[in-house]
Chains A and B, each alone.
Chain A
Amino acid sequence: AQKITQTQPGMFVQEKEAVTLDCTYDTSDPSYGLFWYKQPSSGEMIFLIYQGSYDQQNATEGRYSLNFQKARKSANLVISASQLGDSAMYFCAMRELNTGFQKLVFGTGTRLLVSP
């Protein structure tokens, strides 16, 4: 069964510094997708970045990059040059493409606090 693990309940970072949010996953499906979402206090889920299991390069989207280490089954999110507006909950999620394609399975999340 697919599983996502986020071991950091909370992270602190100073403005303008980089921060890495950890995510490990488990699946027996060789074809899968990994997602990161941001959830600010308003509650909306904001899509940040996607990595496919067969993608050769790590995904990047502006200040967000995904450190994808397939052999270790990790998909850490790196936020460069943190901003105060980055303070939020961050969720890692996975979708299996051949078996559980119907749903995203989420980790428990990491709360990021950016200080001035």
Chain B
Amino acid sequence: GAGVSQSPSNKVTEKGKDVELRCDPISGHTALYWYRQSLGQGLEFLIYFQGNSAPDKSGLPSDRFSAERTGGSVSTLTIQRTQQEDSAVYLCASTLQALPGDHNYGYTFGSGTRLTVV
């Protein structure tokens, strides 16, 4: 597609329920990133995919968070047993490539999914 597409745009869920957030990157972008932005805060890195593999999962806050990417394209971020502190905007970004020495490969961000846990 023309841009990074995220769905749903808004999600309200009850505490304890599982949620799935979807990211459809720009066609051909091999690198995909998930970030979390709490209200009034900066962006917190969650996980990075190169192709279908995730060489950097260091930002996932707990084992309730997981992500997968299939076919080198769509990625799903799953949050199990949601807690109120999971409420945030979840942003996805993709880039053409992510290799050492690369310079200004542009990150394209989606519009995010606003998750509210009640």
User: Hey, which bits of chain A sit against chain B, CB under 8 A?
Assistant: 31, 33, 35, 42-45, 47, 50, 52, 91, 93, 97-98, 101-109
User: Hey, which bits of chain B sit against chain A, CB under 8 A?
Assistant: 31, 33, 35, 41-45, 48, 50, 55-56, 59, 89, 91, 93, 98-104, 106-107, 109, 111-112, 114
Q: Which of A31, A33, A107 contacts B42 (CB 8 A)?
A: A107
Sample of 14 further A-B pairs with CB below 8 A, known A101-B102, A102-B50, A104-B33: A33-B103, A42-B111, A43-B111, A43-B112, A44-B109, A45-B43, A47-B106, A47-B107, A93-B43, A98-B100, A101-B98, A103-B48, A104-B43, A104-B93
Q: How far is the CB of A115 from chain B (nearest CB, A)?
A: 21
Best-surrounded residue of A42, A47, A107 (most CB of chain B within 10 A): A47
Q: How far is the CB of A20 from chain B (nearest CB, A)?
A: 19
Q: How far is the CB of A60 from chain B (nearest CB, A)?
A: 14
Check A45 against B33 for contact (C-beta < 8 Å): no
Select from chain B the residue with minimum beta-carbon distance to A52: B103
User: Which B residues touch A106, using CB under 8 A?
Assistant: 35, 42-44
Q: How far is the CB of B82 from chain A (nearest CB, A)?
A: 21
CA distance A111 to B117 in the complex (A): 26
User: Which B residues touch A52, using CB under 8 A?
Assistant: 103-104
User: Which A residues touch B100, using CB under 8 A?
Assistant: 97-98, 101
Check A109 against B56 for contact (C-beta < 8 Å): no
Check B109 against A109 for contact (C-beta < 8 Å): no
Q: How far is the CB of B65 from chain A (nearest CB, A)?
A: 16
CA distance A38 to B102 in the complex (A): 23
